[in-house]
Amino acid sequence: MTVRYGLIGSGMMGREHIHNVTLLDGVEVSAVADPDQAMREKAAALAGGATSYADYRDLLSAGDFDALVIAAPNDTHHDILLDTITAGKPILCEKPLCTTTEDCRDVIAHAGRGAAPPIWVAMEYRYMPPLQRLRDELATGIAGDVKMISVREHRYPFLPKVGDWNRFNRRTGGTMVEKCCHFWDLMRLVLRSDPVRVYASAGIGHNHLDESYGGETPDIIDHGFSVVDFANGTRGMLDLCMFAEGARWQEEIVVTGTKARVEARVPRPGRYAPEDADHTAQVVVSERATQRERVEDVVVDEAVLAAGDHHGSTFFQHTRFLDLVRSGRTAPEVGLDDGMWAVRMGEAAEDSARTGRPVEFT
């Protein structure tokens, strides 16, 4: 039996979802909703002739879907989630869950008032093959007692979006929410603890300074450092630069324990790299006892790499979400609390960067 997906939001990420869904057996995108006519028509054609709707509420009323994917702009997630919860079908909601912690808590409250469907927050970096390999290494105990995680993302600037919504904090939640929620989620996942304190030093140094939209200049952070203290005594650090697209590795995630250091190296997406660039990721294990470094290439199928800009993670996330849909299970692997914590940490980093003070969680 074919599983039908309804897609709400057909921009760049929405189309990435379509590309990846088409790689799955027995799945189709049957309906697409987007207020932008050109975008929804393009997405409907990409999906092989899906029914298109200008208003997502009409898609919900038609009911021609078995699961929903929300890939609309960040600031619309709260209202869309409140409406889609009542449809009773499994939901995959793109990150961030909402733009504010308050809105996340409101969604959680609404979901807790009845028989809500499973809501999976799309923290696809959990499913990126090199990061899966990193987690596999940690699961063997090779690192010993894990004490630190360091995340470096040096990448290209934010891309143009319909209505330029991703240029402003009020619509994105800020860069530390919009982009970095993946990394806050990874920190909690790897360190197995919740944060108690965030300190960030960040600002606007290069990107979008000469842009103007309706007389308004973008206010999104484009570089900075953030340090996070966790309840179990571990620490995380984020090094972000959004004007470093020439870097060989777009992401470098290093986990250090008492016995070894384990690192995942992720190359930039193929369409933003030279034609002869190597798109193979790596996992590196450096053991204290042997003083030796073991390097492993992590190869991903070319068709999966070509389906998006997230090194295969969207595809592997979809395989897990589809398993949830088909099994009828109600507990997603990445739930609403995970989504809220990622937003909460991002909000704290934004606040710390702008005030110069650390933010304590209570």
Contact call for residues 59 and 41 (beta carbons, < 8 A): no
Q: Please compute the mean of the pLDDT values over residues 296-304 and round it to a whole number.
A: 96
CATH code 3.40.50.720 region(s) in the chain: 3-124+321-335
- 126-301+339-360, CATH topology level: Dihydrodipicolinate Reductase; domain 2 (3.30.360)
Distances in whole angstroms, Cα of residue 286 to Cα of each of 143, 246, 253, 260, 289: 9, 26, 14, 5, 9
Contact call for residues 300 and 264 (beta carbons, < 8 A): no
Distances in whole angstroms, Cα of residue 7 to Cα of each of 234, 235, 242, 269: 39, 38, 29, 24
Check the CA dihedral 173-178-184-186 and report its sign: positive
In terms of Cβ atoms closer than 10 Å to its own Cβ (0-12, 13-18, 19+), residue 281 is: buried
Give pTM, 2 decimals.
Answer: 0.96
Task: Tell me the C-alpha distance between 44 and 199, whole Å.
Answer: 44
Task: Tell me the C-alpha distance between 118 and 98, whole Å.
Answer: 17
Mean pLDDT of the chain: 96
Task: Tell me the C-alpha distance between 270 and 309, whole Å.
Answer: 8
Could you tell me the pLDDT band of residue 277, with boundaries at 50, 70 and 90? confident
Contact call for residues 26 and 77 (beta carbons, < 8 A): no
Distances in whole angstroms, Cα of residue 247 to Cα of each of 18, 180, 266, 297, 319: 29, 18, 11, 18, 30
In this structure, the strands spanning 119-122 and 91-94 are parallel
Q: Please compute the mean of the pLDDT values over residues 106-123 and round it to a whole number.
A: 93
Task: Tell me the C-alpha distance between 309 and 15, whole Å.
Answer: 11
Check pLDDT > 90 for residue 136.
yes
Alpha carbon of residue 268 to chain centroid? 16
Could you tell me the pLDDT band of residue 79, with boundaries at 50, 70 and 90? very high
Architecture per CATH, domain 3-124+321-335, reads as 3-Layer(aba) Sandwich (3.40)
Q: What pLDDT is stored for residue 279 in this prediction?
A: 86
Contact call for residues 131 and 253 (beta carbons, < 8 A): yes
Check pLDDT > 90 for residue 273.
no
Could you tell me the pLDDT band of residue 276, with boundaries at 50, 70 and 90? confident
Q: What pLDDT is stored for residue 274 in this prediction?
A: 80
Q: Which residue has the tokens 């899966």?
A: 132
Angle made by CA atoms 196, 199, 203, in degrees to the nearest 5: 145
Q: Please compute the mean of the pLDDT values over residues 94-101 and round it to a whole number.
A: 98
CATH code 3.30.360.10 region(s) in the chain: 126-301+339-360
Could you tell me the pLDDT band of residue 114, with boundaries at 50, 70 and 90? confident
Share of the chain above pLDDT 90, in %: 93
CA nearest neighbour of 118 among 97, 83, 96, 89: 89
